[in-house]
Structure 1
Amino acid sequence: MIFSLMGLIIMALAIKGNLAKAQATPNILFILTDDLDAAAVEYMPQVKSLIADQGISFSNYFVNISLCCPSRASILRGQYAHNTGVFTNNKADGSFIYLYQQGLEKSTIATWLKDRDYLTAFMGKYLNGYPRHAPEDYVPPGWDEWYSPIYDSGYVGYNYRLNENGKLVRYGRRPKDYSTDVYTEKARQFIDRAAQANQPFFAYVSYFAPHQPAIPAPRHSKLFKDKQAPRTASFNEADVRDKPTYIRHLPLLNSEAQAEIDQLYQRRLKSLQAVDEGVASLIATLKANGQLDNTYIVFSSDNGFRLGQHRLPPAKETAYEEDIHLPLYIRGPGVAAGRVIKDIVSNVDLAPTFAELAEIKTPKFVDGRSLVGLMRSQFRLPWRQVFLLEHRRDKPAALIPSYTGLRTKNCTYVKYGNGEQELYNVVQDPQQLENIASRAARIIKQYSQRLAKLRKCKRDKCRQLELEPLPDCNQAL
């Protein structure tokens, strides 16, 4: 009898030990918005209080290309655009079509985590053009569960078709069909199923908000009626003589254009409220299931968005701060609450970060670096000093010309195809009003030399080239 009781105790302890080991593998909840500029997070109180305040804020988070498909491809694979080949939203060198035809989906963060026995799920916007040139019910490799609208039908929030694990489901105009709420509910149910299965999960929740047309949920339609887009010093910039040609040719924004920007700004803020509520709902679900303390929650955007800065119409794709400088917040096990990290981090770092959290080795093609060391260490680590910016003009008539550039902690350098250059000290001149390129020949020479190497780099060579600091552009003042 004593032996039997002892055997039961040993067995129970073994089961408890195995359960603890299984639960030690962390969950990862990745929440991505579309076209969210850093300033608009001020209107998302749940994101601020439940993620940013409870974890780390990365104050120097940048995207390699400020455009949907290139950024999302970099997120999936941890590569610069010149290595994914995804530069635009067009099928020739971008969009889902390019990703699919080039076989890039065969190795992404989804396939890496699935091989590690994670339950994986994707909800929301994938890449522009999905699933053109593939079957309508196509589900990319690596995803156990899949809920994504087809043929770009998800932007208006209603009347879309969702590929739900290979079954096409039509959503209409009812309030409960509002897409942001649907994606949140799909994610919440998936988290519940992962808890019941006692398996670690990776949930990628990709909201369309606040992308244009920025349709809000009916319950938020009356909010922010009197809000005006921020009239920063760079808004409708009066003197653009030091700017590149494409900006010098722009007229000042008239009153009608400014009113349209204000209306778009109001819609953007309204559309973000359902995302903010969704964040609270997902975190409440994690807490109710006992998963919260073992879940890393990552919040960011695919690119930024400008609203009249430097006379430019509302959009993205430039190397100005509004387009490339985004929010990134991470909370989770072992992450100190309220900490701010000022090191340069980027969208090419997300996939290797998720991989290290799951104790996975990344493929050799990865250009980025894991953020886990920064998150867990209180000591100064050797880290990136320079980050590559890229942009390829997608159409001959497109406003923004092709360029490459560099972002350091203090400076932004841009070199256009026609030879024009910009250099800004973004600490002393955060609005980027004064282009100091004309009086910084020595500094620009060094920046240009590094740029020539980085724009062709691959894998560990990228990481090596990023480590060596460049001279501070304030030396030109």
Structure 2
Amino acid sequence: MARIFVVSLNLLQLIVLVGFHSVALADERPNILFVFTDDHATKALSAYDDGLIETPNLDRLANEGMKFNRCYVTNSICGPSRACILTGKYSHKNGYYHNDQEFDGTQQTFPKLLQQAGYQTALIGKWHLGRQSKPTGFDYWHILEHQGFYYQPKFITPWGQVQYLGYTTELLTDQTLAWLEHGRDPDRPFLLMMQHKAPHRPWDPAPDRVTDNMNQVYPEPENLFDNYENRASAAAQAEMRIANDKHMSIHGPDIKAWDQPELNDPNNSRARDWFYGKMTHDQLTTWKEAYLQKNEKYYEGKLSGKDLVRWKYQRFLQDYLSCVSSVDDSVGQVLDYLEEAGLAENTVVIYSSDQGFFLGEHGWFDKRFMYEESLRAPLLVRWPGVTEPGSIEERIVSNLDFAETFLDIANVDIPAEMQGASLEPLLRGTPPKDWRDSFYYHYYEGGGHNVSEHYGVTDGRYKLIHFYKLGEWELFDLVADPHEMHSVYGDVEYAEVQAKMLAKLQDLRVELEVTSDDPPTQE
């Protein structure tokens, strides 16, 4: 368990504050526990096909509940995804288009509605909706400062800033368990949003996980060395290649960079010196023992070309998946507590991530594109006594549906202006006949990793993408071309499909009231 270094929040104060909202009689409505990560690819869960790592605790949710195979996000980037979840609206409706904004907390959100309906609401972990924006609609919140660090993070609370000593994934787990045990009112149902930093960049494993995957060799994606031909120019222009991106340093303590700070080697980790300076003596010792020898071999090998890409890919996967393992540990601890405390049977547990993530596909890390690895997020839901254990849902669902689902579970009216649909009928095994058969996506940020702005539509088989700043289109047949390597836009044999998808795209833009391709101009 991680240790708290400085704590300004007294749990007794918290209990008193909670008491002001207590209700007279026990409320039997389900509790809602939403566990959320950042950049968790479906390939990084063993519950999904081609899983690269064993995640036994997350698999518990799939085995005891429902796994959704097509959970698409509306805008594959951290802040906009979170804003979508809170509001049940696309970016053009909630006003949060890209990460460099402040979320408008005065607007309606599902936590506010649950709070008004008698639920006790809490948010612990990553907020990432602006440096000045603070959570609203929560009885208790304890959030990471902006992106947060993996080691020795700072948290922001209504009572001020708190400095911790420890590993962030473990600290979030400790805080979650403390709130469940001491902070909640047992006579009220709760909504608890536990939002991890992991496995977001820079993929810093926990001290007890740092060597877990160091000698693992992971299979390379078929398109690790993508040449970006046969598509729009956006893929070739994107700056998130494992081969040469600045974020793809060799990682781990680099003795050369420490001894020679003037060394100007783009592949070393000199830029991360501040991080090692944050570590305790024991943490740093663990990291040195894990990384130094392997890094020395890297320098001695003088790798280049495809050999260097392969080396970086393996290091990336080793560290990324170690961060995932810590999340899985955390989920296991929380699920065990729910069982021990007698809460499991009346608690709906939802696990998801703010988007998918490229794990070497197309030679990339990161997200943003409407391609499958980025568009599709994991979604696991356990609802004891309601959802059939081990069930799998293939229909198109979305983070747009989360707010409506939480409200529906709590028997709270869903505002008409929300743009998604409750997943409750799917979870009960009674899907409506008019469930969506296509899905609209819109990415606005542009400058981030030089991924060009685009929108598009998919029906799960075909996908149409418009890079509107470039004036270019792509059309993919996901059955014939599951890796999205060859656009068939303009091909005669796909003319009918193209016309159908163009019509679907226009219909969805009208239905969703998309009146502009770009965010409004900031004054």
TM-score range (shorter-chain normalised) is: 0.7 to 0.9
Answering whether residue 456 of structure 2 is matched by residue 405 of structure 1, we say yes
Q: How does 1:28-39 map onto structure 2 within 5 Å?
A: 28-39=32-43
* SS at 1:241 equivalent: coil
| 1:159 and 2:211 matched | no
Deviations 1:81-123 (A, max 9, x none): 22122221112xxxxx1x1xxx344421211111111111111
Structure 2 unpaired stretches of 5+? 1-22, 47-52, 244-305, 516-523
Structure-2 separation of matches of 1:228 and 1:412: 33
The 5 A counterparts of 1:49-88 are 49-88=59-98
Q: Which structure 2 residues correspond to residues 52-131 of structure 1 after superposition, within 5 A?
A: 52-91=62-101, 97=102, 99=103, 103-130=104-131
1:342-384 deviation per Cα after TM superposition (whole angstroms, max 9, x unaligned):
1100000000000000011122220000000111134563201
Tell me, yes or no, if the aligned pair for 2:425 and 2:431 is still in contact at 8 Å. no
Task: Output the amino acid matched with 2:193.
Answer: Y
Q: Does 1:245 align with 2:255?
A: no
Please give the residue correspondences for 1:412-423 in structure 2 after superposition, counting only pairs within 5 Å. 412-417=463-468, 418-423=470-475
What is the Cα deviation at residue 325 of structure 1? 1.1
Find the counterpart in structure 2 of residue 186 from structure 1: 175
Q: Deviations over 1:401-428 (max 9, x none)?
A: 1111112121221111123221222233
1:271-307 Cα distance to aligned partner (Å, 9 max, x none) = 1122111111111111111110000000010011113
TM score, norm. by length of structure 1: 0.82
Distance 1:316 1:25, change over 3 A: same
Structure 2 partner of 1:171 = 164
2:463 aligned with 1:445: no
Aligned to 2:140: 145
Query: Deviation at 1:456?
Result: 4.8
Q: How many Å apart are 1:160 and its aligned residue?
A: 2.4
Q: Secondary structure at the match of 2:471?
A: coil
Rounded Cα–Cα distance in structure 2 between residues aligned with 1:379 and 1:90: 38
- Counterpart CA distance in 2 for 1:63 and 1:41 is 18
Aligned to 2:301: none
- CA deviations on 1:20-46 (whole Å, 9 max, x unpaired) are x84520000000010000000122523
SS of corresponding position for 2:64: coil
Whether 2:339 is the aligned partner of 1:287: answer yes
Q: CA deviation at 1:78?
A: 0.6
Please, which runs of 5 or more residues in structure 1 have no aligned partner? 1-18, 92-96, 463-477
CA distance in 2, matches of 1:178, 1:249: 36
Q: CA RMSD in A?
A: 2.5
Identity of aligned residues (%): 27
SS of 1:437's equivalent in the other structure is coil
CA distance in 2, matches of 1:327, 1:452: 28
Determine which of 224, 235, 241 is the counterpart of 2:224.
235
Is the partner of 1:455 in helix, strand or coil? helix
Q: Which whole-Å CA distance do the structure 1 matches of 2:418 and 2:155 have between them?
A: 31
Given that residues 120 and 184 in structure 2 are in contact (C-alpha distance below 8 angstroms), is that contact kept between their aligned partners in structure 1? Answer: no
Post-superposition offset of 1:445 = 2.5
CA distance in 1, matches of 2:68, 2:195: 20
Report the alpha carbon displacement of residue 129 of structure 1 after superposing the two structures with TM. 3.2
Taking the aligned partners of 1:426 and 1:191, their CA distance within structure 2 comes to: 44
Structure 1 letter corresponding to 2:136: P
Residue correspondences, number:
419
1:362 is paired with a residue whose SS is: coil
Q: Measure the CA separation in 2 of the matches of 1:381 and 1:200.
A: 32
| Cα contact 2:223–2:361 (8 A) shared by 1 | yes
1:210-221 aligned at under 5 Å gives the runs 210-221=199-210
Query: CA separation in 2, counterparts of 1:359 and 1:178?
Result: 37
2:57 to 42, 47, 68: 47
Q: CA deviation at 1:387?
A: 0.5
Specify the code of the residue in structure 2 equivalent to 1:146. W
Which residue is 1:454 aligned to? 508
Distance in 2 (alpha carbons) for counterparts of 1:90 and 1:246: 22
Change (3 A) 1:419 1:442: farther
1:272-311 equivalences in 2 (<5 Å): 272-311=324-363
Cα distance in 2 for residues equivalent to 1:118 and 1:431: 44
Contact 1:216–1:267 (Cα < 8 Å) also in 2: yes
| TM-score of the two chains, using structure 2 as the length reference | 0.75
Contact conserved, 1:374 with 1:381, CA < 8 A, in 2? no
User: Do the aligned residues in 2 keep the contact of 1:195 with 1:289 (CA within 8 Å)?
Assistant: no
Distance in 1 between residues matched to 2:129 and 2:237, nearest whole Å: 30
Give the drift of 1:193.
3.5
Judge which range, 437-446 or 53-62, deviates more. Answer: 437-446
What secondary structure is seen at the aligned counterpart in 2 of 1:76? helix
Written as runs of structure 1 = structure 2, the 5 A alignment for 1:332-371 is 332-333=383-384, 334-371=386-423
Instruction: Give the Cα separation in 2 of the matches to 1:231 and 1:208.
Output: 26
What is the identity, as a one-letter code, of the residue corresponding to 2:169?
T
Distance 1:203 1:186 in 2: 11
Q: Would you say the 8 A contact 1:195–1:291 is kept in 2? A: no
TM-superposed deviation, 1:243 = 1.5
Q: Matched residue of 2:425: which SS? A: helix
1:242 is matched by which residue type in structure 2?
Answer: N
Distance (whole Å) between structure 2 residues aligned to residue 87 and residue 196 of structure 1: 36
